[in-house]
Structure 1
Amino acid sequence: LQRARHLLDGSELATEWIDWSLRLIAGNAPWLERLELSSPVGRRGEPATRSESWRRHAGRSPTAADLVRRLEGLAGRASELAHAMDFRFLYDESRALFSIGYQPTSHALDGSYYDLLASEARLASFIAVAKNEVPVEHWFRLGRTLTRAAGETALVSWSGSMFEYLMPALVMQSFPFTVLDRTYDGAVRRQIAYGAERGVPWGVSESAYNLRDAHQTYQYRAFGVPDLALKRGLGRDLVIAPYAAALASMIDAPRALANLAVLEQKGALGPYGFRDALDYTRPLPGRRYAVVGNYMAHHIGMGLVALTNALTAGTWPRRFHADALVRSAELLLHERVPRRLVLQEPQTARAEEALPDPELERPVVREVEEPGTAQPRVALLGHMPYTVMVSHCGSGYSRHEDLAITRWRADGTSDSTGQFCYVRDVSAGRVWSAAHQPVCAPADRYRALLATDRVTFDRSDGDIETRTEIAVVPADSAEVRRVTLTNNGSVPREIELTSYGEIVLAPPDADRAHPAFGSLFVETEWHEWCTAVTATRRPRSATERAVWCAHVVDSGRHRVGSVTCETDRSRFLGRGRSTRQPVALDRAGPLSGTTGAVLDPIFSLRTRVRLGPGQSASVGFTTLVSATRERVFELADRYHDSYAAHRALDLAWTSTQVELRELGISPAESAVFQELAGSLFFAEPSLCAPREELVRNRGAQPLLWAVGVSGDWPILLATIDSVDGLPTLSRLFAAHRYWRRRGMMVDLVVLNTHPPSYLQDLQEKITAAMFASSDS
């Protein structure tokens, strides 16, 4: 308040106020081009009236008397600040309306105006008229179009939100039989009916919704009831804001409180009050809605003031109207419903404005129940810089930018390289994989679920059920593999889990060309305090960048004994053995703990859990990469926490939704792109050229360079001969962008077979479609 009062003493009031606000909040960020007129300028009472109330409660207590003096001083400063605010610089005299804001970058008013009485800005209009800053003509210039809502007459607002109708009513009295009084009642009744029609709790207003940007910040905009609004397209969304119901408690307290109780049952109430919204348009998988988990102080504050008014028969409006300035303009609020009505017909939802089918918004999961398919089916997880490919059998690669973290070979016949987890039933002596590879032991039941945000493997082996979930956290350059074991038997079981991956930390081509040579430069270490193995590649030149990798197992319940490690591949596999039957799995017990400059480095961690009958336990293995040793240890410590895997899986779903919306791709389309990726990795025969054509080929890879194709990556050829093929080609461009985002390099070659012409219409449209889908 002191800073604000100091600024108000200056000669350039408007400019200084705006500049101070921008510096305080966001350093002149582009999105802060407007200063809303819904400021709390009018939310005050006359200081003397409040002082009398405070003195009555203070009695003779010295402490209370001191508090009263301080509060009186604060009230005085607030009163001065409110009286000093001047909105005339926002007033357009030619229109007799307030602009919705001021653009400090161009020093000009915004081109849009508050021109409706049913608006949150009517509080600023009322104060401006009362202070004689604008003529009374302005009040009657505000639009008064009415609509029939739930059988009542109500003013139309721009977006049909509870905020527009009831925010000013927090402090402005409502007089019986007036147009505003009828509007409040009609708007709340229509909001209640709208919720009942949709089979959801009621209360629609501007709020956050279940869409986040790259910084994981919930997005925010106005939502409303279509037939209370002038704005079109509101029927596309269904987002319920608890604070809207709290505002309605001033109009219909019993129904509002009952509605808040329903919202509480649905998880809307949190430790700091009601969360901002329930989003029925963008639900969580397997649910009808998503809880938008942020809290907004001004929404919670409006709700508290509204509930106070409901409980005290309008304390805040009484205080507001005790001010002589407010009473001088009170007659404006006594406006009756006009005899001649200008009615807006209720909006009916158009086909393009219909609420989206939640099934279209939910992730599409590809299910594979038989590991022995003709060729592997794959899922691409994460996005640059950290990406993972996993096949339905459990093999695949992990990459950071252009470096392979673990060894992988594109062999569709064996499909046996990647990062794995072995499961050993200690008492029974049985060994199997968490997925199908590399042990390939037949399961009683096997299922792979390939989604865009994670891969899940479910299998049953006797009384033990194994579920493995794999997800990527690109922000940490980490992948998490959570293995959950369930004992369905009647006796306790001890289960040993052993992870395995062959360390590369080099470009995949370099590893394929000289795997043994590349392994000579890798050193490993064991760190018992965070149960992690770290590995780094010694630079061979001054230009080679440093890279550190860590493999961590988390701490948790039901663990037995200590975690042990192995980083020597020859000790783990044994002579003449493979990953299918390694010598390290011949018997239970600790691994050798070999570390250092081993000839053939791997990471392997072993831990044991004890499960009683019917019990379950989860173990999280995390692989992560960083440029520095310090950062690797920071992340290793984080993922050593037993809840880290759970948090990572939740974050992966949110990150994927953000990515798909940024790319303009639906979950169904992303599933198609992922399915096509498998065909490119393993050369699906049905999509390749006929064998007789391939036999006739006499060219070599250098011939591709002349047309800008490297030949190092899979090639996807698209042939087009007319504009009819442009929609399909556009989706291929979108797929190419999606694959690159997920670390899969593909050469997309477009062959235009349309006869040459001077205009080249088709070629120009192909080029336009290509640029429209590019990251640039």
Structure 2
Amino acid sequence: MIRSRFVIMLGILVLLTSFIVSRIAFANENVHDIALQNQLEAVAKKTYRYFEDFTDPSTGLTYDAVRFQDGEVKEAKYTSPTNIGMYLLSTISAEQLGIISREEAVSRIQKTLNTLEKLEKWNGLFYNWYNTDGTLKTDWGQFISQVDNGWLSAGLIVTGQAYEELFKQTSKLVDAMNYEPLYDPKVGQFRGGYFVDRGELTGHHYGMFYTEPRLASYIAIGKGDVPAEHWWKMYRTLPPEWDWQAQIPTGAFVEYDGVSVFEGHYEYNGVIYVPSWGGSMFEGLMPSLVLKEKELGTNALGLNNKRHVELQIAFAKEKGYPAWGFSPAATPDGYSEFAATPLGTSGYKDNGTVTAYATFLALEYAPEEAYKNIKALKDLNSYDKYGFYDSVNVLTGEVTQAYLSLDQGMIMASIANYLYDGVLRNYFHSDEIGRNPEDLLRKEVFSIQ
């Protein structure tokens, strides 16, 4: 009798202990989540201040960059289709985060849309550079960029779903953006763009799949401007016989929709992955700001995004760096491409330069590591009035005191998606252009399982 009571009491004690431990763990996780949320909201508030202070009040076009150098403020009063698209996404994010009201968001975006309607275009596509007063920046040539127009299309699509009263205006702009003239049907890939003043397409194609132009490809398919087979004509890795690439890939040919695709992969530190061109974070993860790669591409793009985040972190650890996040960014002398070099087909350099936006792109795949990295970047004195300066060299401690609208936009969009369950992706996929090609994301299986 005594023994049975003892066993019962012991069982109750074990259950009680287990309950207490689980509650403590839950409480700790909750505290971490709240701390991260507070941190992100504070960063977003400072980051959006950039768009409030450096957007032309008459046109709604945001400056490309602002530098604080030798006691002077140098404002780059020109912009690109990508910058405009990121301003739209950032303003929607700011409203979602409670930084501005819905009325202010609509008013700001309306001004931008009115300007977009007046801007000079080619086949409905936008030139790559405009002055923020709304005039074409002709001294930089007359180039039409496939990838940059893709980001403007994405911003417009999300805007039309976020604000019903703007849908007619955004749809008209997107429908007019004809990507077909940039497509090479013989190769099944897009050219990089078109020089209007020279009347010629670029000599190169956007052949690599796991790079940022895949968003414009997805949109062009969703619009019906190019055939769906284009998705399968891009290289997951380059063919093994192209022996100049960083690694000779391993894999096999798989057929999708009647197209034979080489599903190849690289390997780094025992982990297999599909490479980007340069090995940078934005090539891999920027499209997932609006594409449901994490949700729908669980055997392909979503899984690969996770691998690239993990490998960027591992690369920094191997190098002994106090922070991670390798991607193109501003430098004291201008702008340069950086990467976790092994992750690229022709990897960009690594010299210890990290950029904050790469951390925020990784939020949904590694929130705890991102939280720690945010603190590490602050410890490197790279955080100020408009959020994080664009880059810091972790070896020298040199901070590039510049803000780029593109990179500020990626931070804003990443925070909104993380805190509000992929809100920008949900808007994008609510539109038929985002919804139509979803099966392309679902059906693929990368050889990295």
TM-score grouping bracket, smaller chain normalisation: 0.5 to 0.7
The answer to whether the 8 A contact 1:171-1:317 is kept is yes
Please name the residue that 2:114 is paired with: 2
Cα distance in 2, alignment partners of residues 274 and 47 from structure 1:
26
Please name the residue that 2:18 is paired with: none
The answer to whether the 8 A contact 2:278-2:343 is kept is yes
2:429 equivalent to 1:321: yes
Quick one: which amino acid aligns to residue 277 of structure 1? S
2:319 equivalent to 1:238: no
Quick one: which amino acid aligns to residue 116 of structure 2? A
The answer to whether the 8 A contact 2:192-2:204 is kept is yes
Quick one: which amino acid aligns to residue 250 of structure 1? E
> Percent same amino acid among aligned pairs?
28
The answer to whether the 8 A contact 1:44-1:319 is kept is no
2:223 equivalent to 1:131: yes
Structure with bigger gyration radius: 1
Shift of 1:32: 6.8
> Structure 1 75/14 Cα, relative in aligned 2: closer, same or farther at 3 Å?
closer
SS in 2 for 1:167: helix
2:317 equivalent to 1:199: no
Please name the residue that 2:15 is paired with: none
> Structure 1 77/333 Cα, relative in aligned 2: closer, same or farther at 3 Å?
same
Number of residue pairs matched? 304
Quick one: which amino acid aligns to residue 176 of structure 2? A
Matches within 5 A, 1:503-582: none
Q: Deviation string for 1:138-157 (max 9, x for gaps)?
A: 11011112222454432211
Matches within 5 A, 1:458-473: none
2:147 equivalent to 1:37: yes
Matches within 5 A, 1:96-175: 96-145=188-237, 146-149=265-268, 151-173=270-292, 174=294, 175=296
Pick from 206, 209, 223: which aligns with 2:338?
223
The answer to whether the 8 A contact 1:18-1:104 is kept is no
Pick from 107, 111, 127: which aligns with 1:18?
127
> Structure 1 95/232 Cα, relative in aligned 2: closer, same or farther at 3 Å?
same
SS in 2 for 1:134: coil
Higher relative contact order (CA 8 A, sep 6+): 2
Please name the residue that 2:404 is paired with: 296
The answer to whether the 8 A contact 2:159-2:170 is kept is no
The answer to whether the 8 A contact 1:151-1:186 is kept is no
Quick one: which amino acid aligns to residue 380 of structure 2? K
Q: TM-score normalized by structure 2?
A: 0.62
> Structure 1 25/250 Cα, relative in aligned 2: closer, same or farther at 3 Å?
farther
Shift of 1:47: 7.0
The answer to whether the 8 A contact 2:160-2:167 is kept is no
Matches within 5 A, 1:185-196: 185-196=306-317
Please name the residue that 1:261 is paired with: 375
Shift of 1:84: 1.9
SS in 2 for 1:98: strand
> Structure 1 328/36 Cα, relative in aligned 2: closer, same or farther at 3 Å?
closer
5+ unaligned residues in a row in structure 1: which ranges? 52-71, 212-218, 282-287, 344-776
Shift of 1:209: 1.5
SS in 2 for 1:261: helix
Matches within 5 A, 1:312-711: 312-338=420-446
Shift of 1:307: 1.2
Please name the residue that 2:305 is paired with: 184
Runs of 4+ with deviation above 6 angstroms: none
Shift of 1:111: 1.0
Quick one: which amino acid aligns to residue 436 of structure 2? S
> Structure 1 111/238 Cα, relative in aligned 2: closer, same or farther at 3 Å?
farther
> Structure 1 240/291 Cα, relative in aligned 2: closer, same or farther at 3 Å?
same
> Structure 1 31/191 Cα, relative in aligned 2: closer, same or farther at 3 Å?
farther
Q: TM-score normalized by structure 1?
A: 0.37
CA RMSD of aligned residues (A): 2.7
Quick one: which amino acid aligns to residue 116 of structure 1? M
Shift of 1:305: 0.8
Quick one: which amino acid aligns to residue 169 of structure 2? R
Quick one: which amino acid aligns to residue 13 of structure 1? N
5+ unaligned residues in a row in structure 2: which ranges? 1-112, 238-264
Quick one: which amino acid aligns to residue 29 of structure 1? D
Please name the residue that 1:595 is paired with: none
Cα distance in 2, alignment partners of residues 226 and 94 from structure 1:
32
Shift of 1:116: 1.2
2:189 equivalent to 1:77: no
The answer to whether the 8 A contact 1:238-1:280 is kept is yes
SS in 2 for 1:202: coil
2:306 equivalent to 1:306: no
The answer to whether the 8 A contact 1:154-1:184 is kept is no
The answer to whether the 8 A contact 2:325-2:354 is kept is yes
Cα distance in 2, alignment partners of residues 187 and 119 from structure 1:
12
SS in 1 for 2:282: helix
Cα distance in 1, alignment partners of residues 348 and 357 from structure 2:
23
> Structure 1 195/5 Cα, relative in aligned 2: closer, same or farther at 3 Å?
same
